[in-house]
């Protein structure tokens, strides 16, 4: 399948077998036919496949194979996952962003592939008891640690953390906006146990920068609170660095005031990811209200922080001139009463 058009798979077994049968990374696109941006991304995906013969490209229709999407931690479509030969997640990308996908594919294709365990398709060493035999585990760990300039070993993925400590680390890293990769230690018992001895650090998550251990959640939190965390991240071609972020509250104030009418929703106006978001977009368009939107699924810090900032626990949330109007129930009521335009009169052009 390498060097050819991407292939479609429909089960977890097919996915793991495909990963085990390929020496390089496997790139998996999870998409849905009812979601136009993700359907469009399949075309981009097919075009990328022959350009990167070292990678294997697979597509998963989430309507056909929802269990595969669940196992890979996909909370939205499109969702792209990069898997090692053992089926472990080494990186992922959420959302319909073709330029970002092309860039990430090229970047990961240029890096050494984490060595596969001798289990073949299995992602758990306990399944056979033979994982890692015939391979130098320490060499494999070194490759994994150096796979990305900023590497987080955690339980779950950055889009679906499996414990509160991993979730806290992901939120902090997302806040810094640094480019980083993750490895799900729940999928590989060799790595999970071996890394504890290799780094002399017995708990997870573990953060590495430039191949060196920084520490776990306590150290990451402390450095974040001190304002020194962003300073340790590398810069240059291998790490997309941005300037040190503003405090979250200041960032949220800027976001809610970004446009006269601002909608915080799940997905995008052309690709809403929940019925409530779809409905509020329909109402705004029906009333010809100009608005901008922010996909809260793309930023966990904003998603959680905005709940406290506005004292409103659900999404979508509609703002006018930086002030919260309300959620779907309020907007729907104003629309039915014919007063939504009046409520937004200072914002609508």
Q: How confident is the model at residue 206 (pLDDT cuts 50, 70, 90)?
A: very high
Model confidence at 246: pLDDT above 50: no
Least confident piece of the model among 35-49, 202-216, 225-239, 249-263: 225-239
For residue 29 the two structure tokens come to: 């696109």
pLDDT of residue 5: 66
pLDDT of residue 214: 87
Q: How confident is the model at residue 131 (pLDDT cuts 50, 70, 90)?
A: very low
Model confidence at 121: pLDDT above 50: no
List where CATH 3.40.30.10 sits in the chain: 7-232, 248-343
pLDDT of residue 48: 86
Model confidence at 251: pLDDT above 60: yes
Chain-centroid distance, C-alpha 287: 34
116 and 84 in contact (C-beta within 8 Å)? yes
pLDDT in tens, 106-117: 888 877 666 543
Q: How confident is the model at residue 122 (pLDDT cuts 50, 70, 90)?
A: very low
User: Average pLDDT of 166-177?
Assistant: 89
pLDDT in tens, 7-33: 888 887 788 778 877 778 899 999 988
Q: What φ, ψ does residue 112 adopt, rounded to 5°?
A: -65, 145
Higher model confidence: residue 345 or residue 263? 263
For residue 156 the two structure tokens come to: 């779950």
pLDDT in tens, 328-349: 988 998 999 888 988 887 544 4
Report d(CA 126, CA 173) in Å as an integer. Answer: 31
In the sheet that holds 212-215, the strands lie side by side as: 181-184, 150-154, 206-209, 212-215
Report d(CA 182, CA 7) in Å as an integer. Answer: 25
Model confidence at 59: pLDDT above 60: yes
For residue 290 the two structure tokens come to: 């100009």
* CATH placement of domain 248-343: 3.40.30.10
The residues near 67 (Cβ < 8 Å, ≥ 6 apart) are 11, 12
**CA count, 13 A, side-chain hemisphere, 9:** 23
* CATH placement of domain 7-232: 3.40.30.10
Cis bond before residue 316 (omega within 30° of 0) = yes
How many residues are given for the chain?
A: 349
**Of 113, 173, 189, which Cα lies nearest the Cα of 144?**
113
Strand 89-94 and strand 79-83: the pairing is antiparallel
The residues near 327 (Cβ < 8 Å, ≥ 6 apart) are 276, 312, 314, 315, 316, 317, 318
């Amino acid at each position: 399948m390498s060097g050819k058009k991407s292939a479609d798979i429909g089960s977890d077994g097919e996915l793991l077998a495909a990963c085990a049968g390929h020496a390089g990374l496997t790139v998996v696109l999870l998409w849905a036919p009812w979601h136009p941006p993700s359907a469009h991304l399949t075309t981009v995906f097919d075009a990328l496949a022959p350009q990167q013969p070292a990678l294997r490209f697979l597509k998963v229709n989430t309507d056909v194979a929802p269990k595969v999407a669940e196992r890979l931690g996909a909370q939205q479509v499109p969702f792209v996952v990069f898997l090692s030969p053992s089926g472990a997640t080494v990186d992922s990308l959420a959302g319909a962003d073709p330029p970002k996908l092309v860039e990430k594919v090229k970047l990961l294709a240029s890096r050494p592939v984490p060595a596969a365990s001798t289990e073949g398709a299995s992602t758990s060493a306990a399944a056979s008891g033979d994982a890692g035999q015939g391979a130098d585990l320490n060499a494999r760990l070194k490759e994994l640690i150096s796979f990305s300039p900023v590497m987080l070993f955690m339980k779950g993925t950055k889009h679906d953390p499996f414990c509160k400590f991993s979730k806290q680390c992901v939120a902090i890293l997302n806040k810094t906006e640094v480019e980083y990769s993750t490895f799900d230690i729940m999928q590989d018992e060799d790595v999970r146990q071996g890394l504890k001895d290799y780094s002399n650090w017995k708990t997870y998550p573990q953060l590495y920068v430039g191949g060196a251990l920084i520490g776990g959640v306590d150290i990451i939190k402390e450095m974040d609170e001190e304002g020194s965390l962003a300073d340790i991240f590398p810069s240059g071609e291998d790490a997309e660095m941005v300037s040190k972020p503003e405090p979250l509250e200041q960032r949220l104030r800027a976001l809610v005031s970004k446009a006269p009418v601002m909608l915080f929703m799940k997905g995008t106006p052309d690709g809403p990811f929940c019925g409530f978001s779809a409905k509020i977009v329909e109402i705004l368009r029906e009333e010809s209200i100009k608005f901008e939107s922010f996909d809260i699924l793309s930023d966990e810090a904003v998603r959680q922080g905005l709940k406290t900032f506005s004292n409103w626990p659900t999404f979508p949330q509609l703002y006018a001139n930086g002030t919260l109007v309300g959620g779907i129930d309020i907007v729907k009521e104003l629309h039915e009463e014919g007063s939504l335009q009046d409520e937004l009169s200072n914002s609508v052009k």
